[in-house]
Structure 1
Amino acid sequence: MANKRTIDIMMIGLRSVNGAQGGVERHVRSLVEEFDAMGLATCIVERSPYSRGGRAAFGAHGQIMPIWSPRSASYEALAHSVLATLWAGLVRPRVLHVHAIGPSIVAPLARLLGLHVVCTHHGRDYDRQKWGTFAKLVLRLGEWCQAHFAQGRICVAQSLSLQLKAELGVPFTYIPNAVKLPPLSGDPTILDQLQLQPGKYVINLGRLVPEKRQDDLIRAFSRLARKDVKLVLVGSADHPSQYSEDLAKLADAVPGVIMAGFRQGSDLVQLLANAALFALPSSHEGMPIAALEAMSLSRPVLLSDIPANMDLMLPPECYHKTASVEDLAEKLEHRLAAQSDAGVPAVDWTEVLSAYNWRTVARQTLDVYDQASTGFSQAVKARRP
Structure 2
Amino acid sequence: MKIIVTGTRGIPDILGGVETHCEELFPRIVRKGIDVSLIRRRSYVHDSLTEYRGVKLVDLATPKRKSLEAIIHTFKAILKAKSLHADIVHIHAIGPALVTPLARLLGMKVVFTHHGPDYDRDKWGWAAKTMLKHGERMGVMFANEVIVISEVINDLLVRKYGRRDCHLIYNGVPAPDKVADTDYLKSLGVESHSYVFAMGRFVPEKNFHQLIRAFAALKQQNYKLVLAGDTDFEDDYSKKLKSLAKENGVILTGFIKGTKLHELLTHARCFVLPSSHEGLPIALLEAMSYDLPVIVSNIPANLEVGLAFDCYFQTGNEKQLQEKLQKNLVQDFCPVHYLMDEYNWDRIAEQVVSVYENMF
| Identity percentage of aligned residues | 38
Runs of 4+ in 1 over 4 A off after TM superposition: none
Task: Tell me the number of residue pairs that the alignment of Structure 1 and Structure 2 aligns.
Answer: 359
Q: 2:311 aligns with which of 312, 318, 324?
A: 318
Partner of 1:189: 183
Partner of 2:221: 227
Partner of 2:351: 364
Q: Deviations over 1:349-373 (max 9, x none)?
A: 1x2x1111111111111222233x3
The equivalences for 1:1-385 within 5 A come to 8-54=2-48, 56-59=50-53, 61-171=54-164, 172-180=166-174, 183-255=177-249, 257-338=250-331, 342=332, 344-349=333-338, 351=339, 353-371=340-358, 373-374=359-360
Secondary structure of 2:328's counterpart equals helix
CA deviation after TM superposition for structure 1 residue 246, in Å: 0.7
TM-score by length of 2: 0.97
Secondary structure of 2:72's counterpart equals helix
Amino acid at match of 1:63: K
Q: Deviations over 1:182-223 (max 9, x none)?
A: 623443321111111110100111000000000000000011
* Distance in 2, Cα, partners of 1:71 & 1:121: 23
Amino acid at match of 2:349: A
* Distance in 1, Cα, partners of 2:269 & 2:55: 39
Q: CA RMSD in A?
A: 1.3
* Distance in 2, Cα, partners of 1:17 & 1:166: 34
CA contact (8 A) 1:182 1:265 kept: no
* Distance in 1, Cα, partners of 2:325 & 2:272: 9
* Distance in 2, Cα, partners of 1:197 & 1:177: 31
* Distance in 2, Cα, partners of 1:188 & 1:122: 35
* Distance in 1, Cα, partners of 2:261 & 2:194: 16
CA deviation after TM superposition for structure 1 residue 55, in Å: 5.1
| Higher deviation after alignment, 105-114 or 39-48 | 39-48
Q: Deviations over 1:12-45 (max 9, x none)?
A: 0011222421110010111112112212211111
* Distance in 1, Cα, partners of 2:318 & 2:31: 45
CA contact (8 A) 1:46 1:66 kept: yes
* Distance in 2, Cα, partners of 1:96 & 1:68: 19
Amino acid at match of 1:363: E
Secondary structure of 2:44's counterpart equals coil
* Distance in 1, Cα, partners of 2:63 & 2:302: 33
CA deviation after TM superposition for structure 1 residue 228, in Å: 0.8
Give unpaired runs (5+ residues) of structure 1: 1-6, 375-385
* Distance in 2, Cα, partners of 1:130 & 1:152: 29
* Distance in 2, Cα, partners of 1:346 & 1:230: 19
TM-score by length of 1: 0.91
* Distance in 2, Cα, partners of 1:278 & 1:269: 13
Secondary structure of 2:227's counterpart equals strand
CA deviation after TM superposition for structure 1 residue 298, in Å: 0.8
Secondary structure of 2:343's counterpart equals coil
Secondary structure of 1:355's counterpart equals helix
Amino acid at match of 1:335: N
Secondary structure of 1:126's counterpart equals helix
* Distance in 1, Cα, partners of 2:260 & 2:330: 27
Amino acid at match of 1:30: E
* Distance in 2, Cα, partners of 1:184 & 1:66: 33
Secondary structure of 1:21's counterpart equals coil
* Distance in 2, Cα, partners of 1:85 & 1:199: 47
CA contact (8 A) 1:8 1:42 kept: yes
